[in-house]
Structure 1
């Protein structure tokens, strides 16, 4: 009986030795797949600090996001500022259109108190301020917000990047996107070495292969509302030679769902839901 027990024990140990590496390998593959997802902090880590402020960008950087996503608009006196809405009402203590403020006026607004008392006094940052603070430290996904309201905004963004030698492919950390696809085309002409993206809302749920092929002539990414993403869309985007970074994940369940759809990146308010991986070069 003892001899039988010993033989069985050896058999179980041997089986375990073969089974455990297989299980570990399977787990490692799964982790590698998840780590390939690019982590984009939406308006900075906007679940943890007031969106589009230096506090939110710093939080995204600290949380090891691959990119911080920013919204660029233009003041009355032609300066580039970071704010999402075309009015200042929701995210500052002011009221009115962004384009009706001078830089000096918009910088006097409190852009943090609405989110929490500890952020009182946060300012609306300038585009140049963000570039100078995070150049070479983290990727920057630049959204041209409502560019139709700001003639010449593409040129001003291009000029700011060129002044800092951030307009080269080798940099690998700048992507420009917009819902205004004509603006994306214009920006691509001004900055041909930088990757660009077309943003797509719910109306693009039935985008055709022909439309994706057209986007691919000037864009490297098709970044849609996460609610229209299907396995078929992901495959079509990849077939067109583009990558896909859906927006905006706000829960672990949503992030997991996007992982399972085999997207290339996730734009999220919660960088902690997306595994860290160094910025890919494009």
Structure 2
């Protein structure tokens, strides 16, 4: 734990020296600058290409999504890589935990054949590669910190990478989210210029007013399981100054239900569903 605290302190020092780390809330934008209904391609256009690959992200660009979502984890040797599961078993021809594999080992895996022969050999990309490839394209990137509790300090590493690439103030380009709300609090402290989203899993009790109040102190988006969404929740999210983009929409009926409730966007495997309005 002391090593982790030292890492965070060191990165925070770099951000502060660069003029990037501001006091809590100072200079932060309360919402992304895009005003239209947000059509967010889940792990890329993952209904049409293997999830979290360049093929899926390129398809999202072709289909004119506003953002595509990526899941970020860390390799054994410290590289930020894009994969949803904690293991490579489901979506590649390999086995093992991401955190136990080096980047070289990860890059040898086929992340496309499971989806279709035409995607054979599709590699697992790094966050660095994704940022470089799409930074000048007309699409934003929703970065999810996947299981950050497995990778202590990953939020600071992402913040530093965005700063190095001068994307730290691109509120129209980058959103960062996670199910780990403590990590997102820390991310907002490190980089308050980037919009933050909190992912919320389904629970029968729903989302309380107190939870929303707490979220509003550091988050710009509440991104819940679609089963939680109704007009009341949308109104309460908006009353707390945040936007709401539920996940994961896979059918026209689901998309229309979310739109009728008044959401600000949808996270979907099929980007055409975000254009039904």
Distance 1:227 1:178 in 2: 18
Greater Rg by CA: 1
| Partner of residue 145, structure 1 | 146
Displacement of 1:51 in angstroms is 0.1
Secondary structure, counterpart of 2:272 in structure 1: helix
Distance 2:218 2:36 in 1: 24
Stretches of structure 1 lacking an aligned partner (at least 5 in a row): 1-34, 278-282
Contact 1:107 1:124 in 2 (8 A): yes
Contact 2:171 2:193 in 1 (8 A): no
Report matched runs for 1:188-267 at 5 Å: 188-203=188-203, 205-267=205-267
| Partner of residue 157, structure 1 | 158
| Partner of residue 179, structure 1 | 179
Distance 1:89 1:206 in 2: 33
Range 199-208 or range 89-98, more displaced: 199-208
Report matched runs for 1:6-155 at 5 Å: 36-137=36-137, 138-155=139-156
Stretches of structure 2 lacking an aligned partner (at least 5 in a row): 1-34
Secondary structure, counterpart of 1:274 in structure 2: helix
Question: Where has structure 1 moved over 4 Å in runs of 4 or more?
Answer: none
Range 187-196 or range 267-276, more displaced: 267-276
CA 1:58–1:203 in 2, change beyond 3 Å: closer, same or farther?
same
CA 1:204–1:97 in 2, change beyond 3 Å: closer, same or farther?
farther
Secondary structure, counterpart of 2:45 in structure 1: coil
Displacement of 1:136 in angstroms is 3.5
Contact 1:80 1:127 in 2 (8 A): yes
CA deviations on 1:54-113 (whole Å, 9 max, x unpaired) are 000000011000000000000000100000000000000001111000000001000000
| Partner of residue 269, structure 1 | 269
Contact 1:71 1:142 in 2 (8 A): yes
Secondary structure, counterpart of 2:152 in structure 1: coil
CA deviations on 1:204-260 (whole Å, 9 max, x unpaired) are 742211210110000001100001101110011001110000000001111111111
CA deviations on 1:135-191 (whole Å, 9 max, x unpaired) are 1321100000000000121111111101110001x5421100000001101111111
Displacement of 1:203 in angstroms is 2.4
What TM-score do you get using the length of structure 2 for normalisation?
0.85
Displacement of 1:276 in angstroms is 8.6
Contact 1:136 1:173 in 2 (8 A): no
Contact 1:42 1:269 in 2 (8 A): yes
CA 1:254–1:80 in 2, change beyond 3 Å: closer, same or farther?
same
Distance 2:205 2:266 in 1: 18
What TM-score do you get using the length of structure 1 for normalisation?
0.83
| Partner of residue 8, structure 1 | none
Distance 2:72 2:234 in 1: 28
The structure that is helix-richer by fraction is: 1
